[in-house]
Structure 1
Amino acid sequence: MVFGGQDAWRKHPMLTGCYKRPFPGLGIALGLFAGYCVLDGTIKFATAPTKDLYAPGTFKFEAQGEDDE
C-alpha cells in the first residue's frame, strides 16, 4: 500500500504500554505514605500527653481591657 507507514506512530513503545502503568511510582508512593500514617498514629497513641503536662497555674487567662460594648 502507498500509505502503509502512516499509522506507524501508533505502534511506538511510548504509546502502546501506557495502559499498563499510567502512573509509574504511584503504588510505591501510596505504600510509603500508608506506612508513614500508621507509624505516626502509633507513635502519637503510644506517647499520648498526660493531664499534668504543664504545671498548674502556668497559663492564666487575662481578659482584654477594651470591650466593644
Structure 2
Amino acid sequence: MIYSIIIGGFAGWLAGNIMKGGGYGILKNILLGIIGGLVGGWVFNFLGVIILNGFLGDLLEGVIGAVIILAIAGAVKKK
C-alpha cells in the first residue's frame, strides 16, 4: 500500500510536469497520480498489455494513468 502511494505520488508529479499548464499544483497532482496509478493499472490489465515488470513498469503505468486523469480533469475544468 505504501509502495503504491509512493509510486502514485511520483507519477502524479511527473504527469504534472508532462502536462504543462494542465496541472493543479503539486499536492493535487500527487493525489491525481495515486488515482491515475489505479486507472493506469486497470487500463493496462483490461487491454492485456504488460509494459514492464517491477518499479519501472509500475511507474510508467502510473504516469500514463495520471496523464489520462489530468487530461480529463483539465477538460472538465475548462467547461
TM-score, structure 2 as length reference:
0.27
Q: RCO (CA 8 Å, sep 6+): is it higher in 1 or 2?
A: 2
Structure label with greater radius of gyration: 1
Give the number of the structure whose residues are more often helix, by fraction: 2
TM-score, structure 1 as length reference:
0.31
